[in-house]
């Protein structure tokens, strides 16, 4: 089974520190999403990319969050500086859109971030 790989699985950091989360989408997938999961808000879309170009990052706090795809095999989500309210599980998902493809997306295992 092809998988979306996220690293690290867990991260504990102090407030003010930079956090970088990485995602390796499934080879050949052209769409990548970043979601944040909390008990209060559920799954919030932070950003998504198609063919490495950002399509929508309106759900992302711009002052501290940034998302990039330096190449087709890597997506990154960075928080600088981190705050306790950023504590959540961050999921990456990838899928194939276009050319008649009509599938659901595949999710990674998530990065559980704790900011103390």
Q: Which residues bind another protein (CB under 8 A)?
A: 31, 33, 35, 41-43, 45, 48, 50, 55-56, 91, 93, 95, 97, 102-110
Q: Which is nearer to another protein, 15 or 114 (CB)?
A: 114
Locate 13 and state its tokens. 């950091």
Structure tokens, 110: 């998530």
Residue 57 burial by CB count (10 A; 0-12/13-18/19+): exposed, middle or buried? middle
Least distance to another protein, CB of residue 101, Å: 10
Tokens of 38: 């909390």
Pick the closer one to another protein by CB: 28 or 42: 42
């Amino acid at each position: 089974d092809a998988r979306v790989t996220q690293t690290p699985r867990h991260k504990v950091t102090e407030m003010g520190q930079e956090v970088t989360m990485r995602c390796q989408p499934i080879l050949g997938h052209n769409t990548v999403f970043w979601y944040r999961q909390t008990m209060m808000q559920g799954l919030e879309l932070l950003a998504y990319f198609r063919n490495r170009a950002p399509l929508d990052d309106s759900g992302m706090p711009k002052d501290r969050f940034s998302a990039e795809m330096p190449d087709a095999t890597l997506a990154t989500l960075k928080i600088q500086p981190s705050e306790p309210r950023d504590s959540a599980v961050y999921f990456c998902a990838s899928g194939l859109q276009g050319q008649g493809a009509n599938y659901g997306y595949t999710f990674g295992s998530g990065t559980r971030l704790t900011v103390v």
